[in-house]
């Protein structure tokens, strides 16, 4: 007879526990799993009955983990990751010829998507599917083979490989290099609107207009004026439309610089920043030959990236 203490815990209850423990909120866990908060509470009670001990401390609207929950949570997360990886291996024959990549919308639209035609021409039978998402990918739930993340490259439980450094530089429409207020030196920016990239990344090394102007000893230009945008692609498009001068990420502006929609008016205007773009995937994940081929191709494309200025 099977020892009842050897029973596996209920899988749905474990999923509810993992989500609630990670978010420290039954309501947010319910939103993530598309169920009601009451359903989450019921699953947690079922798991606590199985464990014979409380897993959460209820404190008003918030919850805290008990010692038992804190000790078991890393193992539960690892178990789900292994189950997910097992599923991926089972699906490998059906996934053949398909590569799923997740990255931020601006990077997807301005850097990656314009290059995909070349990949498909040189890799017949392999399709790249791109998911544009601002959030960090949860590999235990998402279908992505790997992601391209913007940051420092340090992610718990994940492998990362540097794809591309990032620099910030002023860019504008070629039309702003002509006429009575033509941009020839940084001091000329006082005649033009400054466009600001207010993306949510927290990189202290990334200059804003005030620090960029200060580094070049420009004192008669107000670096705080001008409209602000919460995504890099919006800054690029506004600059290309001639609405002002953007302090832009080079990788996002590269295609428009190469095509001539944008120009970099200052030869010494670039600033290398700490953040960059990284290929990221779970440790222990089996990468198919198609995924490895895409990674090799995208790294080669990154190596060929160059700044086009004036």
pTM of the model: 0.69
| Angle between the N-to-C axes of helices 37-51 and 26-33, in degrees from 0 to 180, rounded to the nearest 10 | 110
153 and 208 inside one domain = no
Residue 5 lies in a domain: no
What number of CA atoms fall less than 13 Å from residue 81's CA on the CB side?
17
Residue 243 lies in a domain: yes
Q: Provide the pLDDT confidence category of residue 174 given band limits of 50, 70 and 90.
A: very high
DSSP strands (E only) in 113-260: 127-132, 146-151, 158-171, 194-197, 228-229, 245-249
Which CATH number does the domain housing residue 262 bear?
3.40.190.10
80 and 103 inside one domain = no
Question: What distance in Å separates the CA atoms of residue 233 and residue 44, rounded to the nearest whole number?
Answer: 43
Kindly report, residue by residue over 9-44, the tens digit of the pLDDT. 888 899 899 989 988 999 888 988 889 989 999 999
181 and 160 inside one domain = no
**Higher-confidence position of 1 and 264:** 264
Kindly report, residue by residue over 219-260, the tens digit of the pLDDT. 999 999 999 998 899 999 999 999 999 999 999 999 999 999
Give the count of domains, the chain: 3
- Per the structure, the complete domain to which residue 45 belongs is given by 11-93
123 and 176 inside one domain = no
Residue 238 lies in a domain: yes
282 and 250 inside one domain = no
Cβ–Cβ < 8 Å for 263, 177: yes
Residue 295 lies in a domain: yes
Residue 51 lies in a domain: yes
Residue 224 lies in a domain: yes
177 and 265 inside one domain = yes
**H helix runs in the chain, sequence order:** 11-23, 26-33, 37-51, 67-95, 105-107, 116-122, 209-215, 232-240, 250-259, 289-303
Question: What distance in Å separates the CA atoms of residue 7 and residue 5, rounded to the nearest whole number?
Answer: 6
71 CB neighbour count, 10 Å cutoff: 10
CA nearest to 143, candidates 105, 94, 70:
94
Residue 241 lies in a domain: yes
150 and 293 inside one domain = yes
- pLDDT computed for residue 140 by the predictor: 64
**H helix runs in 162-270, sequence order:** 209-215, 232-240, 250-259
Q: Would you call 147 helix, strand, or coil by DSSP?
A: strand
- pLDDT computed for residue 89 by the predictor: 66
């Amino acid at each position: 007879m099977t020892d009842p203490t050897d029973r596996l815990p209920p899988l749905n209850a474990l999923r509810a526990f993992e989500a609630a423990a990670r978010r420290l909120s039954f309501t947010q866990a319910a939103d993530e799993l598309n169920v009601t908060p009451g359903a989450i509470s019921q699953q947690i009670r079922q798991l606590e009955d199985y464990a014979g001990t409380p897993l959460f401390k209820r404190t008003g609207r918030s919850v805290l983990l008990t010692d038992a929950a804190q000790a078991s949570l890393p193992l539960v997360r690892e178990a789900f990751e292994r189950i997910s990886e097992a599923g991926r291996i089972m699906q490998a024959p059906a996934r053949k010829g398909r590569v799923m990549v997740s990255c931020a919308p601006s990077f997807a639209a301005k850097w990656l998507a314009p290059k995909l035609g070349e990949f498909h021409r040189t890799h017949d039978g392999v399709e790249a599917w791109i998911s544009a998402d601002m959030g960090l990918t949860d590999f235990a739930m998402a279908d992505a083979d790997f992601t391209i993340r913007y940051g420092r490259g340090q992610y718990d439980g994940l492998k990362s490989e540097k794809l591309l450094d990032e620099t910030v530089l002023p860019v504008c429409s070629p039309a702003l290099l002509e006429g009575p207020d033509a941009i020839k030196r940084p001091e000329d920016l006082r005649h033009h609107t400054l466009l600001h990239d207010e993306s949510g990344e927290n990189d202290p090394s990334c200059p804003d207009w005030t620090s960029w102007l200060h580094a070049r000893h420009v004192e008669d230009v107000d670096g705080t004026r001008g409209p602000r945008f919460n995504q890099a692609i919006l800054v690029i498009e506004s600059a290309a439309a001639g609405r002002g001068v953007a302090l832009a990420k080079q990788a996002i502006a590269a295609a428009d610089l190469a095509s001539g929609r944008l120009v970099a008016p200052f030869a010494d205007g670039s600033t290398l920043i700490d953040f960059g773009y990284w290929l990221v995937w779970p440790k222990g994940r089996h990468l198919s030959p198609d995924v490895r081929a895409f990674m090799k191709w995208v790294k080669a494309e990154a190596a060929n990236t160059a700044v086009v200025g004036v």
